[in-house]
Amino acid sequence: MTMQPSLTLYELAGMDPALRFSPHCWKVRMALAHKGLAAEGLPWRFTDKEAIAFSGQGLVPVLVDGGTAVADSWRIALHLETRFADRPSLFGAPEAVPLARFVNGWSDVVLIPAIARLILTDIARLLGPADEAYFRQTRERRFGAALETVVADRPAHLKALSQTLAPLRALLQGQDFIAGGAPAYADYCVFGMFMWARCASPSDILEGGGDDPVVAWRERLLDAFDGLARRAPALAA
Ligand SMILES: N[C@@H](CCC(=O)N[C@@H](CS)C(=O)NCC(=O)O)C(=O)O
């Protein structure tokens, strides 16, 4: 098996450096665990653009693998898959890569805003003053209103999220993971979004309890890799 190289992952953190709540960074953490790789996770803050300027852009995750810096969670997943080809595949088969890419896009474009409407003010509370100001300014522009206004109608947002998750719920009624009988990168793309909520918010974003196949799936992934995700510092119980 390819030797474990020195890997560094720049990860979004709250004021508390142990609180790593970025959905995209969680995709990568799960992907690294899937490949049996360890990386040093460096805490990074929204306003710390200088620290990752070497990557040529201003967002995390950024993975540094020896002399190579890779930004963007999807590109990092492809990098890990090729570079560590003899370790467990993140996709299962080459034909599954475009499908996982669709799931990644669906998570980013559809799930992120649906979950954001439930947790934006919780995130603001985790940040230091400079990051909070940056977060409010950029997100209020994105959502077109004050964060408090965006999250105001929580029951409606919970219902909308539940409806958004209907295809996932139907899929998970018949199989344990999105990728089938075992988890793969498509699962981590969606699970990263739930880790975002779990780490940043004290309230659960799923109300269905034990009857909801999505809850059961989330439990399975919390337990994966010896409970890597379950053990992570989080605000939700
Ligand atoms: N498409 C990118 C998105 C990365 C992204 O949006 N990262 C957020 C943290 S979750 C970030 O770095 N935000 C910094 C900012 O908003 O300035 C990926 O999948 O990695």
CA 80 to CA 74: how far, in whole Å?
10
Q: Residue with the nearest Cα to atom 19 of ligand 1?
A: 73
Tell me, in angstroms, the distance from the centre of ligand 1 to residue 173's CA: 31
Structure tokens at 172: 């998970």
42 CA to centre of ligand 1 in angstroms:
15
Question: Which residue's CA is minimally distant from atom 12 of ligand 1?
Answer: 59
What residues flank ligand 1, with Cβ below 6 Å? 12, 22-24, 46, 58-61, 72-74, 138
Residue 182: Cβ within 10 Å count: 12
What does the H/E/C string look like for the chain? CCCCCCEEEEEECCCCCCCCCCHHHHHHHHHHHHCCCCCEEEEECCCCHHHHHHHCCCCCCEEEECCEEEECHHHHHHHHHHHCCCCCCCCCCCCHHHHHHHHHHHHHHHHHHHHHHHHHHHHHHHCCHHHHHHHHHHHHHHHCCCHHHHCCCHHHHHHHHHHHCHHHHHHHHHCCECCECCCCHHHHHHHHHHHHHHHHCCCCCCCCHHHCHHHHHHHHHHHHHHHHHHHCCCCCC
**Global pTM?**
0.97
Q: Are 64 and 8 in contact (CB under 8 A)?
A: yes
pLDDT at 159: 97
Q: Which domains does the chain have, with CATH numbers?
A: 7-83 (3.40.30.10), 96-231 (1.20.1050.10)
Nearest Cα residue to 125 out of 116, 135, 115: 135
CA of 113 to the centre of ligand 1 (A): 13
> Closest ligand 1 atom, CA of 71?
20
Per-residue tens of pLDDT for the chain, all 237 residues: 888 889 999 999 999 999 999 999 999 999 999 999 999 999 999 999 999 999 999 999 999 999 999 999 999 999 999 999 999 999 999 999 999 999 999 999 999 999 999 999 999 999 999 999 999 999 999 999 999 999 999 999 999 999 999 999 999 999 999 999 999 999 999 999 999 999 999 999 998 777 999 999 999 999 999 999 999 999 986
Q: Select from 106, 117, 98, 126 the least CA-distant residue to 22.
A: 126
CA of 94 to the centre of ligand 1 (A): 26
Q: How far is the CA of 21 from the centre of ligand 1 (A)?
A: 11
